[in-house]
Amino acid sequence: MLTAVSRYGARVHPTTQQIVAACRERGEFIRGPQVAAFEQAFAARLGANHAIGASYGRTAFYFILEALQLPRGSEIILPALTFWVVPEMARAAGLRVRFVDVDPATFCLDPAALERAITEKTRAVVPTHLFGLPCDMDAILDLAARHHLAVIEDCAHALGATYRGRQVGTFGDGALFSFQTLTPLNCYGGGMAVVRDAPVAARVRARIDSLPWPHEKRIANRLLAGRLLRVFTRPRVFTFVGFPLYWIGSVLGAQPDACLREKVRPLRPLPDDYLERFSNVQAALGLASLDLLDGWTAATRSHAHALSVALGGIPGVQVPAEPAERTHVYYQYCVEVPKRAQLVRSCMRRGVDVEMRHVDVCPQLDLFAAERIPAPGAERAARAVQVPVHASLTDRQMRRVTGVVRKALEAAGPPGRPHVTEAAQP
């Protein structure tokens, strides 16, 4: 039987159940020695000075901002194309957010746009290694040094990516990593603050140490939600449950997964579960999974390269860029295609689930109405599609994905004027 391929594929350690059971048996589900062990292993792997576990990537970011002690009202520059929570957390930390456009070739922060946006009030910049591709760090670090800006790398998508042979997360004053279920290292939630200087790291550590431990139920629910997602994306279950929903959505032009996305809203005061510590069981899963990370990354990269070879050169198709000296870890394989809506429908009809939106064009959101800027690069990226290349796909499944996308592109025909409603889609 031909099964449908899900857009989602979580990286799951094969002994997850045993790791969780062992933490429970030892009475170390929430508190225990694995948090420190994971922090040390994570820092060592990156070649970073300090790593401190946090409840989310976003809280790691927030505590780094606090610890940098930037004057209230200072400006922080972020890419226009990112997850809306990140700029909102900067505002919660008392900073004024300024957006700049992304480079339309890489979808990462455009250094030229950054240079134009710097004012005498700018104190920090956030290079987001979007979809797993490192930003142009030489240009960004050069501007940051000239203008005395703190650099906080957003590595939520990019664990394992390198720039000139060096791991992302080690270039700036600080970096945030996310361990949500679909990220490169799945701990069913949680995050890591990576910090260069000891005094800043001590302040982040003191702040996190002052927080309460999460309730066991909360963490058990996160593990359960991750498990449900895994079950849902298993080929057979997905074929009969998830896929029909997505298929209907593609025909109606609706996005049934919109309800899975976090509602865009102000985050002040911060929600309670942000202000908690990282649990031992999640750290234990992260620690074990670090050993498998390189294998997962290699599988994803190999799928992505096969897809790029198959799609590169088709008129109107722009496969993801991987500039020299940067390794992309393809958290998302984001490809520009002509006639997007038609292509999505056509892939769905052939059993391949492709995603139309993954991050936000933040200046278009009402939440940031005061920070509107023209961002043609971000808008262009938001009109691309994300094709599954996750590590859990076998080579055979990947050949099928590749064949289906090629066929769908052929069926959609050469690029023409986009249909009006499609051009207007987010």
Ligand X SMILES: Cc1ncc(COP(=O)(O)O)c(C=O)c1O
- What CA–CA distance (Å, rounded) separates 234 from 336? 27
Sign of CA dihedral 21, 22, 24, 28: negative
- Shortest spacing between CB 274 and ligand X, in angstroms: 8
Q: Using CB under 6 A as the criterion, what x/- string covers residues 304-333 for binding ligand X?
A: ------------------------------
List the structure tokens of 145: 């040094």
Min dist. Cβ of residue 79 to ligand X (A): 9
Q: For residues 224 and 340, give the distance between their C-alpha atoms in angstroms, rounded to a whole number.
A: 35
Judged on CB neighbours under 10 Å (0-12, 13-18, 19+), 236 is exposed
Please identify, using beta-carbon distances, which residue of 199 and 269 lies nearer to ligand X.
Answer: 269
Q: Which of residues 242-271 bind ligand X (CB under 6 A)?
A: none
Alpha-helix runs per DSSP H in 178-279? 198-209, 216-233, 235-237, 243-252
Min separation Cβ 91 and ligand X, Å: 15
359 to 156, 366, 412: CA distances (angstroms): 12, 15, 25
Closer residue to ligand X (CB): 83 or 368: 83
- Closer residue to ligand X in complex, CB, 90/359: 359
The answer to whether 124 touches 91, Cβ cutoff 8 Å, is no
DSSP-assigned letter for residue 192: E
> 182-221: which residues touch ligand X (CB under 6 A)?
191
**Residue 277 in contact with ligand X, rule: CB under 6 A:** no
* Minimum CB–partner distance for residue 355 and ligand X (Å): 13
Considering the rule CB under 6 A, would residue 180 count as an interface residue with ligand X?
yes
Taking residues 68 to 87 in sequence order and writing x for each that binds ligand X by CB under 6 A, - otherwise, the string is: --------------xx-xx-
Residue 392 makes contact with ligand X by CB under 6 A: no
Q: How far is the CB of 273 from ligand X (least distance, A)?
A: 11
Of 18-26, 51-59, 142-150, 342-350, the segment contacting ligand X by CB under 6 A is: 51-59
Name the residue nearer to ligand X (CB basis): 122 or 183.
Answer: 183
Find the part of the chain contacting ligand X (CB under 6 A) among 50-58, 93-101, 239-247, 349-357: 50-58
Q: In angstroms, rounded to a whole number, what is the distance separating the alpha carbons of residues 339 and 414?
A: 9
Q: What contacts 293, CB < 8 A, 6 or more positions away?
A: 159, 160, 184, 185
Pairwise CA distance, residues 59 & 110, whole Å: 25
Q: State how far the Cα of 111 lies from the Cα of 102, in Å rounded to an integer.
A: 8
CB of 21 to ligand X, least distance (A): 25
244 Cβ partners below 8 Å, 6+ apart?
none
| Nearest distance in Å: CB 55, ligand X | 8
How many residues are there in the chain? 426
Which residue number, 28 or 154, has a Cβ lying nearer to ligand X?
154
3-state SS class at 11: coil
User: Among 178, 181, 327, 392, which residue interacts with ligand X (rule: CB under 6 A)?
Assistant: 178
User: Radius of gyration of the chain from Cα atoms?
Assistant: 21
In the bound state with ligand X, the residue whose beta carbon lies nearer, of 73 and 271, is 271
Q: State the minimum distance, in angstroms, from the CB of residue 420 to ligand X.
A: 30
What kind and span of H or E run contains 421? helix 420-424
> How many residues touch ligand X (CB under 6 A)?
15
Give min distance, CB of 6 to ligand X, in A.
18
Q: Which stretch binds ligand X (CB under 6 A): 12-20, 56-64, 231-239, 414-422?
A: 56-64
Q: How far apart are CA 425 and CA 267, in angstroms?
A: 26
Backbone φ and ψ for 52, nearest 5 degrees, come out as -130, 120
Closer residue to ligand X, CB minimum distance, 82 or 392: 82
Nearer to ligand X among residue 222 and residue 339 (C-beta): 222
Asked if 57 is part of the footprint of ligand X (rule: CB under 6 A), the reply reads: yes
CB of 395 to ligand X, least distance (A): 28
Query: Which segments of 234-339 does DSSP mark as H helices, in order?
Result: 235-237, 243-252, 280-311
Q: Which residues pair with 5 in a beta bridge?
A: 352
- Provide the minimum distance between the beta carbon of 19 and ligand X in the complex, in angstroms, as a whole number: 20
∠ CA 419-389-128 to the nearest 5 degrees? 80
Residues 350-379 that bind ligand X (CB under 6 A): 359
Of 191 and 242, CB closest to ligand X: 191
Site string for ligand X, 133-172 (x = CB under 6 A): ---------------------x-xx---------------
Backbone phi, psi, residue 293, to 5°: -60, -45
Tell me the C-alpha distance between 102 and 126, whole Å.
Answer: 12
Contact residues for ligand X, defined by CB under 6 A: 56-58, 82-83, 85-86, 128, 154, 156-157, 178, 180, 191, 359
